[in-house]
Amino acid sequence: MINSMTGFASGEHLTPRGELQWEVRTVNHRYLEAQFKLPEGFRALEAELRERVNAKLKRGKLDATLQFRPVVPPGDALQLNNALAATVIARAKSLARDIDSASGFSGLDILRWPGVVTEASIDTSELFEPAKTLLDATLDSLCAARAREGARLHLLLEERLQQIAALSAQVRVRMPEVLAAIRERTRERARALEVRIEEERLEQELVLLAQKMDVAEELDRLDAHIAEARATFTMEGAIGRRLDFLMQEFNREANTLGSKSADAETTRIAVDIKVLIEQLREQVQNVE
């Protein structure tokens, strides 16, 4: 099961105290890293929220934002500190007399004074459980989105593997012809020297040359890596790092195949395989 590390989800829940809303998004990351933006009164929840994230995600950088829109009865929305307001007014009048000018204070200026008007406080502890439950549901939606994106990635990866397998098969079919051509060219060059070369010695040299040019082992390992990648696709849990390591092994065999290439066609195929491996590697970076 392939899961992508990229996804987004949101969730809302209306309580008697107000509306809770989570927005979570994830992007590629080597490890799991979670960052929370929580409103005042909910920050004590962060440790428990991290535990919930760790239980559902294995890799990716997650940004989670909680918003709380309180529902407060109109009569309790604002609280006026009458004593502080009276003190501010008296001090303003006194200052106006001292500087021999009329007080420029209005009622709105008094209300703006720090502490004169305060918002009604809300006990957010009653909302901790709804916030945690809502996060669980939102994370489930995120995981579903990552799974859908993972299914798309699976198709892209399988398509590249099929192309690599087809190119590998082309090289395997072509190699006997290539080796036979190398043997013939080597014999012609030996004859062109116009010196007597023992047939047995020439045959030994041809065998050594064929061994150096033979890529059957590299092709076998490429096929084995393709089978291993497909087996990894069926594993549970995070498989991205395993696939990333496997891409290094793919590259190693493709480089060796190119270095042993004895003709232009084999070289072209080796380059095509390396291009496909690079495309695989780019997509694997998105796999959890």
Statement to judge: residues 108 and 133 lie in one domain? no
- Domain membership of residue 284 (yes or no) is no
Name the residue with higher pLDDT: 218 or 13. Answer: 13
- Domain membership of residue 209 (yes or no) is no
Q: Which domain holds residue 98?
A: 78-119
* 150-165 CB burial, b ≥16 within 10 A, e <16: beebbeebeebbebbe
Instruction: Tell me the CA distances in angstroms from 149 to 1, 84, 146, 228, one per residue in order.
Output: 11, 59, 5, 22
- Domain membership of residue 181 (yes or no) is no
Coil, strand, or helix at residue 37?
Answer: strand
pLDDT digits (tens, 9 = 90+) for 128-141: 999 999 999 999 99
Give 187-248 as a DSSP string.
Answer: HHHHHHTTS---HHHHHHHHHHHHHHH--HHHHHHHHHHHHHHHHHHT-SS--HHHHHHHHH
Structure tokens, 269: 């195929």
Q: CA dihedral in degrees (152, 157, 163, 165; nearest 10)? A: -140
- Domain membership of residue 48 (yes or no) is yes
Statement to judge: residues 58 and 138 lie in one domain? yes
**φ and ψ at 107, to 5 degrees?**
-60, -35
Q: Of 2, 44, 8, whose CA–CA distance to 27 is shortest? A: 8
pLDDT digits (tens, 9 = 90+) for 230-271: 999 999 888 999 999 999 999 999 998 888 777 778 889 999
Instruction: Tell me the CA distances in angstroms from 96 to 93, 103, 104, 126, 260, one per residue in order.
Output: 5, 5, 8, 48, 95
Statement to judge: residues 109 and 23 lie in one domain? no
Statement to judge: residues 29 and 64 lie in one domain? yes
Residues 6+ apart with CB under 8 A from 50: 34, 36
Statement to judge: residues 14 and 86 lie in one domain? no
- Domain membership of residue 287 (yes or no) is no
Statement to judge: residues 113 and 134 lie in one domain? no
Statement to judge: residues 52 and 19 lie in one domain? yes
d(CA 92, CA 99): 11
User: What CATH number does the domain containing 20 carry?
Assistant: 3.30.230.10
Statement to judge: residues 98 and 58 lie in one domain? no
Statement to judge: residues 61 and 131 lie in one domain? yes
Q: Of 285, 283, 3, whose CA–CA distance to 143 is shortest? A: 3
Determine contact, residues 5/60, Cβ cutoff 8 Å.
Answer: yes
Which residue bears the tokens 């014999």?
187
Res. 182: pLDDT tops 80? no
Statement to judge: residues 130 and 65 lie in one domain? yes
Determine contact, residues 5/145, Cβ cutoff 8 Å.
Answer: no
- Domain membership of residue 225 (yes or no) is no
d(CA 161, CA 155): 10
- Domain membership of residue 208 (yes or no) is no
pLDDT confidence of residue 239: 93
Name the residue with higher pLDDT: 162 or 211. Answer: 162
Per-residue confidence band for 161, with pLDDT thresholds at 50, 70 and 90: very high
Statement to judge: residues 66 and 82 lie in one domain? no
Statement to judge: residues 35 and 114 lie in one domain? no
- Domain membership of residue 92 (yes or no) is yes
| Domain count along the chain | 2
Res. 210: pLDDT tops 80? no
